[in-house]
Structure formats: C-alpha cells, structure tokens
Structure 1
Amino acid sequence: MSYIKDNIMDIEKEIQEICHRMGRAPKEVQLIAVTKTIDTERIREAIVHGITDVGENKVQEILSKYDGVKNVRWHMIGHLQTNKVKYIIDKVQLIHSLDRFHLAEEINKRAKQINRIMDVLVQVNIAQEETKFGIDAKNVYEFIEQIRGLEHIRIQGLMAMAPFVDDPEEVRIYFRKMKQLFDEIKERNIPGVEMKYLSMGMTNDYKVAIEEGSNMIRIGTGIFGKRNYQK
C-alpha cells in the first residue's frame, strides 16, 4: 500500500509549500485522515507513515475500528445524534460537529459522568445549504453564549464544509467568511471560549482552505483513494 505513503507525502509537501508562500508555519496545519469506509489495515498503514489524527463521520465506524487502531487521536467529524454521544465520549479527542443546544447538553452530561472536559468545534453552515448541518453564521455568537457556561464542554473553534464544486476557487469566499468569523470571535476574548482550531478544507479544496486560514484539514480520498461504498 505504498500509494498511501506517497499520498501522505504529497499532501504534506503541498501544505509546506502553501504555508511558506503564505508566511505560515507548516506545523500550524493539522492533517486529519478521514477514514470513512476505510478498513483498519489501511488506517494502520497511514499511521505508520505519519498520520496522528483520524476522523470518522459515523459513531458506529469509530466503535468498530477503535480497538484495532492504536496510537492515534480520534475525531468525530460527522453529524452526531444525541443518543449516540454516550458511545464515543471517552474515545474521541475532538467533536467537530456541535450544532445545537440539546446536543451540547448531552455532551456536557456524558463528559461530566466520566470526569472529563470535551473539546468541541461549533459547526457553521457558512453557505446556508439545505442539505448540510450547522448553525447559520449570524447565529454563532448567540449559540456560543448559550453553551459556553456548560462546565464539561470546551469550545475550541469552528468547523465548516464548503459546497462541493469542480473548481475550488468558487468556494474561496466561504473559507474567507469563516476565517473572518473565527477572527471576530477570537478578538472578543469570550470567557471559556478559545478559537484554536478552524477546521475546513477537504480533498477537493484543502489548498484554498489553507490559503484562507484553515489550520485543520480533513482528507480522505486524497490519502486512501476513492471509497468503495459497496462494502
């Protein structure tokens, strides 16, 4: 599976080149390998070649792979149902998809039960797509104020998915809006809120996302190749 090694090396090279061009340190950008439908053997191969963080869209995939994959940080990047929080609260490093108060309450409750602080990102539906989850950008401040008092949740930043298009230049405007929102919240120095991570950019558009300020990119196909959904 040398293609996995080659793909990771190519992506890391792209990150370095973009960051140098933009005057950023490459180490600022965290690469998350998205392992949706990917078997544990290939995930372990990616870890051997430098992957430290993996992201899953579904709780059941985390549960099915967790014991077979060691020495890696898990991220919940997909839509999270409230009744599934209890299964991953002790397994994931960061939840990227916090988008409603009831979910925040459940995460807080489950984190309290195991005496941990759960790091979360607020998911923003920056393009206002009906098919995507997330909070409207104009409501993000209000939402943060709602949840920042929950003692077992730590807001660490924002996450967004841009519309999927053939030309990533078409979505640059959305990444730019996300960075503006991220910076505005950061400047407010809201107690209990740390704008540490801006999670945006996937295989098709991560280069533009980094250029616009992303420091956490989520790449699946670019590392593992096209997925086989028939499995």
Structure 2
Amino acid sequence: MEFAYVHENVAAIRLSIEAACAKAGRDPADVRVIAVTKTAPPDIVPALAAAGVRDAAENRWQAAREKLEHQASALLTWHFIGTLQTNKVKYIAPRFDWIHSVDRLELAVALAQAAERAGRTLNVLMQVNVAQESQKHGFAPEICLEAARAIAGMPSLALRGLMTMAPQVDDPELARPVFRALRELRDDVRARLSLAAFDELSMGMSQDYPIAIEEGATMVRIGRRLVNP
C-alpha cells in the first residue's frame, strides 16, 4: 500500500506548528506530534516512522493490537488516548509508554499495579473535563490537585501532566479558553505539589491544534490530517 501522502501531511503539519510557535514565541521542538492511527491500517506504521514521526496513539486495544505487532512498531513511542476500562489494563500497561486518559483514581491504581507486575514505569497524564461536558470523561478541575497528589505517590507511575478534549466547535478559536484553563491548572498543580516533571499538556487535535499550541500544548494528537490521504 502506498503512503507517500504521509510525508506531505507531516510536512504541512510541521509548517503549521512552526507558524503557531512563532506566534506564541515558542520553540517548535517543544511540541510533540502524536499520530492517531485508529482509522489507518497497520502498514502505515513504517510510513510514519520514515516521515519522521516518532509517536503514535490508539484509543482501543482491539484496534491497537495489529499495529503493535507490526515489525516497525518498535520505531515509535506508543500512547494510549482512549477511555480505558480496568479489565483492559493488563493488555495496555505492558505495551504502551504513555497513558493520556487517566480519568479516575481507580484506573490509576489498576495501572500502577499492572505496571509494577510488568516491571516498568508508565508515563501518565490526568484527563481533565475542563468544559464540564456530561458526555466526556475526566477529573473535574476542582479535584485535580488532590487527585494529582494521590497519583504522584503511586509506584510505577510517573505523573507527567494533563490532557483534555475541547468541545467540538465550528470556530477553533472558541476552544482557546479550554486550552488556556488546562495550562493554568497544570501550572497551579505543579507549583502547589512541587512536581518537577509535571510539564506535559496533551491538547489539540486535527481541527484546533494550532490554537492549542499557542496556549502551551506540548503534545498534539493528530489523526485525519496526518493519516488520511
């Protein structure tokens, strides 16, 4: 299968990231592009690596298995970004390096136990429901401080930052307050708990990632604009 378009997509995204960083006075090297591969076949894995992408993400274990079994999967760092049930943790913890969707303490405990059994440390992000949307998962902003305190003390977990999903809006500019609120929350929690490595902000997707970058995103999760022709 031909994936020449991946190189073109990556180049276009890099240019838009550079423009957003220039506007915000940031270094483009501080923004990590995470390719969301859920709609793509396993053979896209080597194409992403050849195009210079170093991070990939999946949101369902069933869809991730074939890609993780691909011989080129070791060329990428793998992120799990979807809603995670505790009974699936045993599959996820040994195979993914980052979990973006820690949305409750019960899940954090299960991940810590599974990571310890696997003999590894997982990088985790707390998912925050900044917009308080009833259909979305995540910690409410007002309980993030105490939740972060609890998770930071769990063995085999490295609490690295926060993640959010902005509301689906026609004008990406309308997502800016959500991204700004997550950055401010990250800064507050980091200062209050003296968490030196609590730096990451996973926010922004295909429709709004330049705005997220202007507001401080360190990870942007890009699917259709990257993996589709």
- Indicate yes or no: 2:94 matched with 1:98: no
Counterpart selection for 1:161 from 161, 165, 168: 165
Secondary structure of the 1:138 match is: helix
2:50 aligned residue: 48
- CA distance in structure 2 between the partners assigned to 1:22 and 1:146 by the alignment: 33
Structure 1: stretches of 5+ with no match in the other structure: 227-231
1:225 aligned residue: 228
> Is the Cα–Cα contact under 8 Å of residues 186 and 199 in structure 2 kept in the other structure?
no
Describe the shift of the 1:62–1:194 C-alpha distance in structure 2 as closer, same or farther (beyond 3 A): same
Secondary structure of the 1:143 match is: helix
- CA distance in structure 1 between the partners assigned to 2:123 and 2:75 by the alignment: 19
> Is the Cα–Cα contact under 8 Å of residues 179 and 203 in structure 2 kept in the other structure?
yes
Counterpart selection for 1:210 from 195, 209, 213: 213
- CA distance in structure 2 between the partners assigned to 1:118 and 1:29 by the alignment: 20
- 1:39-61: CA deviations, max 9, x gaps? 01123212210111001011112
> Is the Cα–Cα contact under 8 Å of residues 98 and 123 in structure 2 kept in the other structure?
yes
1:21 aligned residue: 23
Secondary structure of the 1:146 match is: helix
- 1:138-192: CA deviations, max 9, x gaps? 110121122222111110000000001111011111011111101111222435x
Secondary structure of the 2:98 match is: strand
- CA distance in structure 1 between the partners assigned to 2:96 and 2:148 by the alignment: 21
- 1:93-140: CA deviations, max 9, x gaps? 100000111111111111111221111000000101111110111110
1:194 aligned residue: 197
- 1:57-113: CA deviations, max 9, x gaps? 111122222111331110000111101011121111100000111111111111111
- CA distance in structure 2 between the partners assigned to 1:44 and 1:171 by the alignment: 33
Secondary structure of the 1:32 match is: strand
Identity, in percent, stands at 40
Secondary structure of the 2:169 match is: coil
- Indicate yes or no: 2:150 matched with 1:141: no
TM norm structure 1: 0.93
- CA distance in structure 1 between the partners assigned to 2:153 and 2:198 by the alignment: 16
- CA distance in structure 2 between the partners assigned to 1:55 and 1:173 by the alignment: 25
Letter in 1 for 2:217: S
Bigger shift: 36-45 or 82-91?
36-45
- CA distance in structure 2 between the partners assigned to 1:145 and 1:7 by the alignment: 39
- CA distance in structure 2 between the partners assigned to 1:40 and 1:84 by the alignment: 21
Secondary structure of the 2:132 match is: coil
- CA distance in structure 2 between the partners assigned to 1:77 and 1:137 by the alignment: 19
| TM superposition outliers: structure 1 runs of 4+ over 6 Å | none
Structure 2: stretches of 5+ with no match in the other structure: none
